[in-house]
Amino acid sequence: MQPRLYVAIFVYLGSYLPLSLILLVQEYDFDAPSLPFCKIWQNASSCYIPFSNSKAALSFVILCFSAFLVTLFILMTIKGSNKIKIIESKHIPADLINYVFPYVVSFMSLDYKGTGKMIGFLIFLIWMFLVTYKSGQLMLNPLLIIFGWRLYEIKYQYLGGTNIHSGRALSDDELQPNVTYSKNDIQDILTIKQRSV
């Protein structure tokens, strides 16, 4: 199943929540704690937001955080449409190289003031999204590891079938051989949430 484009964009943006936080910290004015506390209810015009480009920096964090919440919601609500029996499973580490490139870029003097740099960075992220989406690797989000999701290489059979299939599966359960699970397909990745009874 190929996810709709807007869902794919949310899943992709959610994976860059840590990057948005890194860029936010780089925009922070570390002299701000020495300023007097802002009482927004008394005089909002005298308040100082301690970021060089607060609208852009905070917007990117809010966008990525919201997108990550949507990703978690999608994974929590997706129901397995087919029952499979695992023949063999092997945990494999997620492909981190595609995920790491933008973080390296963020430390190469990238900030929200440099319009040319930001446009170049956006083009890079769009290009990475297209490659990730078209290659069927969208759900390989290393940030999901924190929430207990793991990537497996599996061999499996459909219940009642005799053919053995192989593929990669993303699961929040430790996949065991000779156990029946419910699965769904998102791009080239099976999502397996729970054991079937």
180-186 vs 189-195, strand pairing mode: antiparallel
pLDDT digits (tens, 9 = 90+) for 43-66: 556 666 777 777 888 899 999 999
- What's the confidence (pLDDT) of residue 67? 92
Could you count the other beta carbons within 10 Å of the beta carbon of residue 146? Answer: 8
Domain ranges, ordered by start, for the chain: 5-183
Q: Token pair 């996810």 is at which residue?
A: 3
CA angle, 156 as apex, 153 and 161 as ends, to 5°?
Answer: 165
For residue 155, pLDDT over 90 is answered with: yes
- What's the confidence (pLDDT) of residue 31? 74
Closest CA to 191 of 64, 68, 84: 84
Question: Beta partners for 158?
Answer: 84
